[in-house]
Amino acid sequence: MGVVVRNIERPDLAVVAALGECGVATVHEAQGRTGLLATYMRPIYAGARLAAPAVTVSLPAGDNWMIHVAVELLQAGDILVVAPTSPSTDGYFGELLATSLQSRNVVGLVIDAGVRDVRELTEMEFPVWSKAVSAQGTVKETIGSVNVPVVCAGASVNPGDVVVADDDGVCVVRREAAADVLDKARDRVAKEDETRKRLAAGEIGLDIYGMRERLAAKGLKYV
């Protein structure tokens, strides 16, 4: 506790951008169905879709001091990931902090707690994935840490990991694995494009994936 890591390694930004285009569901599948944050993490408005390197914050319930500490460590293109050390729905973040982050070209926030000023954040097009919306303010009394490994909404996030987020939720990709996951995600996209055409033309999964025999072997009975 009480440690701020100034410099972190960030992933290749071209890889990051490409992961964002693949989207959460595809990336999550591509890395073996790991890294998904809990489904209670919802966007405050629909339509945002991004990927970015994580700057992580660990802080106590009801205290947002460390978010202020994190601001100057955030670079253009980063996303802020905030994890309280015990469950909280308080509003740790609002349009003033968003103004500050947007002036630094930070692209968004993922927080396992609440946010406020959601109308203003929506107008500013500053995307947030959060557990709650709450006007409840927080104090600035107790220190935490910045850029340490955290568990956020049930997923382990290291500083510099790639956070992919869209209307389906949030997924984290280890920095070291990003390029490899992207390759697999692209394969998946290509394969799905193919499948989509066949499905749209009226073929069905049972035939495309050759499932009938295995179903019969499992004992499925048609009556």
Which 123-142 positions form the footprint of a second copy (CB under 8 A)? Answer: 132-137, 139-142
Asked if 199 and 191 count as a contact pair (C-beta separation under 8 A), the reply is: no
**12 vs 186, beta carbon nearer a second copy:** 186
Q: Return d(Cα 20, Cα 141) in angstroms, integer.
A: 36
Using CB under 8 A as the binding rule, whether residue 180 contacts a second copy is answered as no
Helix, strand or coil for residue 203? coil
User: Taking phi first (over 0 means left), then psi (-120 to 50 degrees means alpha), and beta for anything else, what does residue 140 get?
Assistant: beta
Consecutive H or E run containing 79: strand 79-84
Using CB under 8 A as the binding rule, whether residue 46 contacts a second copy is answered as yes
C-alpha torsion sign, points 111, 116, 122, 123: negative
Using CB under 8 A as the binding rule, whether residue 222 contacts a second copy is answered as yes
Q: Find the shortest distance in angstroms from Cβ 211 to a second copy.
A: 6
Q: Which of 14, 76, 190, 215 binds a second copy (CB under 8 A)?
A: 215
Q: Find the shortest distance in angstroms from Cβ 179 to a second copy.
A: 19
Candidates 10-18, 25-33, 175-183; binding stretch for a second copy (CB under 8 A) = 25-33
Asked if 94 and 115 count as a contact pair (C-beta separation under 8 A), the reply is: yes
**157 vs 178, beta carbon nearer a second copy:** 157
Q: Which of 11, 53, 91, 160 binds a second copy (CB under 8 A)?
A: 91
Q: Return d(Cα 210, Cα 100) in angstroms, integer.
A: 54
Q: Which of 92, 166, 181, 182 binds a second copy (CB under 8 A)?
A: 166
Q: Which of 9, 176, 183, 205 binds a second copy (CB under 8 A)?
A: 205
Strands 162-166, 50-59: parallel, antiparallel or unpaired by DSSP?
antiparallel
